[in-house]
């Protein structure tokens, strides 16, 4: 995969060098300690990663989704957590740039592009994951404000971030349910409480938290797009970029696992020869590289449609499904190639394995995505 111009490709190459130089030496330390990588975040701000896909008009780099997906692959192939720090942020930025009012764009996008403000996206609730229309967080109009009550769960970037794009019910009685949903740009303030950082099997270092809102007030000017009832549609369009990103993270993990396994298979000997010469290992390596390259092609296809401004929910779903499953399968096969050493924290492969499963669950479970793919297929090829 190549970027669409030499400047963008040079940036991808620079990110690859940075990931090897700055991320690989510290990934194990931060992961094991579950510590937020503050210094790494500052480096990402200086590189412009928080403005990667934001238009130059607002101070961003204006990178294509195609180029952005390659950046994510490079980062995730070394350490997935940092890619999550700027991913949720850029989904919020894309939603504001696509759907926000002119005032919202002018006010937020330049500061988001610099990383001066960092954003999270608040969709999931304890009772509502894949079924977003079941959310219970409400926003009731009171004069010039909305008063928000409810809670969100599994919100990345919410502890160290500054604002959340919050999905709420502005009309809990609307039918169909999605007609009563809106998005609010919610900056931290009285009534907005980060309950605590959640302990996770993998995807450590990044802050994933529960949020609680009690009589939290948001000015009406922070209703995304200035019109109620558009939140579900706005969320769906934002998830296209999010799913391309998650697919790229999965492809990155898959590629990183393949590289680790390929090196180890040439160094490790069993029965008098390097283990790559054993057919069982050869079969695993062949399957792994096929999964990696197949996922990359689907990510490229989805990215190009997104860049062209075309509807790409089918393509984004396929990219996310293929990338995340490649990450899970390749990390598991690499564990088998490493054998007993794969269970030691001294080897990076165990972190790849722990991180990979999140991608099959987040940004729409792969089971849900399969239904989206099937429905879109029938819609496009009706008889």
> What is the residue whose two structure tokens read 């054993």?
278
Distance CA 282, CA 167 (A): 48
8-state DSSP, 201 = S
366, 210 contact by CB (below 8 A):
no
Which H/E stretch holds residue 211?
strand 208-219
Distance CA 158, CA 276 (A): 44
Going by C-alpha positions, the residue among 75, 24, 72, 4 that lies closest to residue 247 is 72
Non-local CB neighbours of 100 within 8 Å, separated by 6+ positions: 108, 185, 224, 225
8-state DSSP, 223 = B
DSSP-derived 3-state class of residue 96: helix
Instruction: Give the Cβ contact number of residue 21 at 10 Å.
Output: 10
Both tokens assigned to 214: 């009690």
Respond yes or no: is residue 103 known to be catalytic. Answer: no
DSSP-derived 3-state class of residue 146: strand
Distance CA 161, CA 67 (A): 25
> What is the residue whose two structure tokens read 């070394």?
78
94, 85 contact by CB (below 8 A):
no
Concatenate the DSSP letters of all residues of 295-326 into one string. Answer: HHHHHHHHHHHHHTT---HHHHHHHHHHHHHH
Instruction: Give the Cβ contact number of residue 124 at 10 Å.
Output: 17
DSSP 3-state percent helix, strand, coil across the chain (nearest 5): 60, 15, 25
Helix 81-99, helix 231-267: angle, nearest 10: 150
Pick the catalytic residue from 293, 350, 363, 367: 363
Alpha helical stretches, state H, the chain: 6-18, 24-33, 38-47, 65-76, 81-99, 102-114, 231-267, 279-307, 313-338, 349-361, 366-380
Active site residues: 363
């Amino acid at each position: 995969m190549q970027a669409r111009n030499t400047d963008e490709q040079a940036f991808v190459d620079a990110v690859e060098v940075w990931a090897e130089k700055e991320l690989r030496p510290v990934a194990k330390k931060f992961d094991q300690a579950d510590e937020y990588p503050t210094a790494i975040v500052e480096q990402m701000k200086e590189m412009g990663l928080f403005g990667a896909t934001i238009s130059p008009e607002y101070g961003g780099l204006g990178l294509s989704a195609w180029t952005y997906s390659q950046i994510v692959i490079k980062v995730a192939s070394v350490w997935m957590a940092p890619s999550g720090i700027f991913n949720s942020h850029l989904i919020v930025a894309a939603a504001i740039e696509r759907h926000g009012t002119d005032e919202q764009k002018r006010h937020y996008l330049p500061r988001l592009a610099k990383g001066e403000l960092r954003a999270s996206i608040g969709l999931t609730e304890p009772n509502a994951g894949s079924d977003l229309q079941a959310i219970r967080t409400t926003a009731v109009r009171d004069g010039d404000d909305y008063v928000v009550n409810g809670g969100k769960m599994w919100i990345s970037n919410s502890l160290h971030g500054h604002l959340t794009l919050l999905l709420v019910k502005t009309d809990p009685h609307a039918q169909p349910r999605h007609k009563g949903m809106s998005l609010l740009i919610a900056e931290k303030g009285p009534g907005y409480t980060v309950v605590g950082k959640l302990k996770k099997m993998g995807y450590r270092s990044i802050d994933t938290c529960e949020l609680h809102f009690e009589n939290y007030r948001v000015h009406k000017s922070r209703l995304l797009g200035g019109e109620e009832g558009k939140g579900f549609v706005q969320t769906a369009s934002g998830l296209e970029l999010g799913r391309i990103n998650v697919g790229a993270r999965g492809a990155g993990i898959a590629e990183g696992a393949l590289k680790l396994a390929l090196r180890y298979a040439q160094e490790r000997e069993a029965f008098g020869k390097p283990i790559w010469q054993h057919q069982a290992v050869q079969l695993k390596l062949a399957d792994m590289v096929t999964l990696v390259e197949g996922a990359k092609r689907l990510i490229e296809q989805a990215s190009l449609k997104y860049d062209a401004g075309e509807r790409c929910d089918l393509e984004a779903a396929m990219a996310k499904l293929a990338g995340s499953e490649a990450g899970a399968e390749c990390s598991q096969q690499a564990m088998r190639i490493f054998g007993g050493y794969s269970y030691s924290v001294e080897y990076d492969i165990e972190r790849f394995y722990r991180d990979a499963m999140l991608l099959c669950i987040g940004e729409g479970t792969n089971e849900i995505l399969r239904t989206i793919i099937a429905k879109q297929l029938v819609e496009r090829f009706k008889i």
